[in-house]
Structure 1
Amino acid sequence: MELIIREYELQLKHTFTISRESINTQPSLIVQLKSGGFSGYGEATSNPYYNITVPMMKQDLENLKSLIESSVDETPEIFWAKMYPYLKHNMFALCALDMAYNDLYARQQGKKLHELWDYNTERNPLTNYTIGIDTIDKMVAKMKELPWPIYKIKLGTPNDIEIVKALRAHTDAIFRIDANCGWGIEETLNNAVQLKELGVEFLEQPLKADDWQGHEIIYKHSVLPIIADESCIYEQDVAKCYNHFHGINIKLVKCGGLTPARRMIQQAKKLGLKTMVGCMTESSVGISAIAHLLPQLDYVDMDGALLLSEDIAKGVQIQNGKIDYSELNGTGVVLK
């Protein structure tokens, strides 16, 4: 097996702002694994909140080049377990590697990834489209630019309710709110009452990630469901979210890839938690991998490639929230 690593600077259509940062470009690392005439692709983007850069990911993977390239005929689960001890300090790099290996493995089996997992795709959920924090006029303009059935709205400003009221005046779409740790307890409870009347489906990560006592309070008293994001990073976090959140948003780059994400989804279901997978402004490489998890999810946020001015790959197609799979096997990805 051959390991190939590529670095990209993904250009965004618009400045993307959340409660703690604004970006115009997104550094990304693409892993390609080649074996027996097949190639599998994986992706992980950099993230300052988690102190992960593309050069860090590249170096950690290159350090394992001989171990990676000597791996043959292993299941993705065995491969992940083999790599984890060397990459547990850098789950983003492990994600890109695991994603590429899952893709390669499925292609070698002559199946799409969801077929390999025996998932039924007939009732896949629709993906939301994200509106980052901006002036109200610009947020409305972004929404009008792409009419969509479900919007995720980034909040964490002094005038959050005013923003949602202004957006609601222009659409009947479902709203999801992501405060990215930007609110307090009372603010969350009060906002939830007004936001429910404005057609909001749920609130994502309103409090700081480590405020478990606060999340227990809003879990018990909020009129809207609360979904964990920054509070649910690794597999061991799923059990901690029980009785603190109504659901979890799994990010592949944070948990270490598709292999642990599938285990997290099953664990969440056993605990009665709603399941969601989100993206980190990836290209179609990462987005196409997420698509194969759809049959196991209640909600999905996989609009990352739609936020780019130019995609670096072809894979799944998204129209009005609906995902259409590529005819190719694996994740269906081809680099442009």
Structure 2
Amino acid sequence: MEVRLSQHKLKLRHRFTISRESHETQDTLIVHLSQDKETGYGETTSNPYYGHTVKNLMEEIEAIRGEIENYTLSKPEDFHLWLSNKNLSRFALCALDLAAHDLYGKLQNRPLHKLWNTTLDNYPTTNYTLGIDTIENMVAKMKEMPWPIYKIKLGTSEDLDIVRELREHSNAVFRIDANGAWTAAQTIAISPELKKLGVEFIEQPLKADDWSGMEQVVHHSVLPVIADESCLVEEDVERCALHFNGINIKLTKCGGLTPALRMIKKGRQLGLKIMVGCMTESTVGISAIGQLLPQLDYVDMDGPLLISNDIARGIEINKDATITFPSLGGSGIRLIK
């Protein structure tokens, strides 16, 4: 396969803040894998929380470029297994795995969801994320983007006030993401009021390693709790089943579609609700997530809605929150920049 790498700076429509960080742009890396006159695309983003920069991710892939270019793709799963012995971070592995899946589907001339024997008869609606801001600005952002489901980032001294004020302006479903900013006592205490305010679930209320706290929360919160930072890789799924009601799988964190598919299967076996979430990423990464939609209970794939300079076409999220799926094989991605 031929390998090409391109780096891009995504510009957010609004400054995006969560409990631990804030940013106005997002650096992202696109991997191009070509074989037999087709090209597949995969994405991974820089992430200070997990210690990844685009420069370092590019260096990881460049170090094995020659080996990849001597590799002939047959199945993405076999490629992922081969790559797993190359000392790559999961972020770099993700971009390569997504590109291989997109390429494979294009070579087969079939979308991935069809290759996985799923149909588009039923799939969840993506939420739209409201980052932490002043209450006034959060209301303004919500009014700017009318949507049926909002994910509300919290972790401030005004958390309940924020949700109460937002509820005054919308009948949408609310989901809360505290990004590990709360304690077990806070979560249990706030959950009844959040439920009254129409909140569907709470995502990652406690720090990722606070398992004893989550054991209290999962038994005493009146709202379901979904793991994010506590569920990075396949090995985390079983432990999360004892401490959460569901898991939010991030392709970049677990290493791509190949492990994500196994995590979905394992989560289902354990009775967990399944969500897939995104980073601040372009339509490249989001189109890969979109192929998983028929297998999910919830999805957070609003990356392209949050940026002003998308770099690709593929899955389209329409203004009425419906999805238009590309007919092109694989994840259906075409770069435009």
**TM-score over 0.5 (shorter chain):** yes
Which amino acid is 1:32 matched to? H
Q: Secondary structure at the match of 1:243?
A: coil
1:22-171 aligned at under 5 Å gives the runs 22-88=22-88, 90-171=89-170
- Greater shift, 202-211 or 117-126, is seen at 117-126
- How far the C-alpha of 1:120 sits from its partner, in A, is 1.4
Kindly, what percent of the aligned residue pairs are identical? 57
Cα distance per residue 1:265-299 (max 9 Å; x no partner): 00000000000000001100000000000011000
Per-residue deviation, 1:71: 1.5
Q: CA deviation at 1:310?
A: 1.2
Amino acid of the residue matched to residue 101 of structure 2? N
List gaps (5 residues or longer) in structure 2.
none
Tell me the distance in 2 between the aligned counterparts of 1:299 and 1:66: 39
Q: Which amino acid aligns with 1:103?
A: D
Moved segments of 4+, more than 4 Å: none
On the 8 A contact 2:73/2:100 being kept in 1, the answer is no
TM-score by length of 2: 0.98
Q: Trace 1:213-232 onto structure 2 (pairs within 5 A).
A: 213-232=212-231
1:239 maps to which residue? Answer: 238
Q: CA offsets per residue over residues 57-82 of structure 1, 9 Å max, x none?
A: 10000111111111114211111010
- Three-state SS of the structure 2 residue aligned to 1:50 is coil
What is the 5 A alignment of 1:218-297? Answer: 218-297=217-296
Corresponding residue number in structure 2 for 1:325: 325
Q: Deviations over 1:191-245 (max 9, x none)?
A: 1110000000000000000000100110011100000000000110001101200
Name the counterpart of 2:12: 12
Which residue matches 2:184? 185
Q: Which stretches in structure 1 are left out of the alignment for 5+ residues?
A: none
Amino acid at match of 2:306: L
Whether the 8 Å contact between 2:211 and 2:243 is mirrored in structure 1 is yes
Name the SS of the counterpart of 2:242 in structure 1.
Answer: coil
Distance 2:272 2:37 in 1: 41
Structure 1 partner of 2:197: 198
The one-letter code sitting in structure 2 at the alignment partner of 1:262 is: L
User: Residue 228 of structure 2 contacts residue 248 of structure 2 at CA under 8 Å; is this kept in 1?
Assistant: yes
**CA apart distance, 1:190:** 1.0
**Conserved in 2, the CA contact under 8 Å of 1:19 and 1:179?**
yes
Task: Please say if residues 87 and 94 of structure 1, whose CA atoms lie closer than 8 Å, have aligned partners that are also in contact.
Answer: no
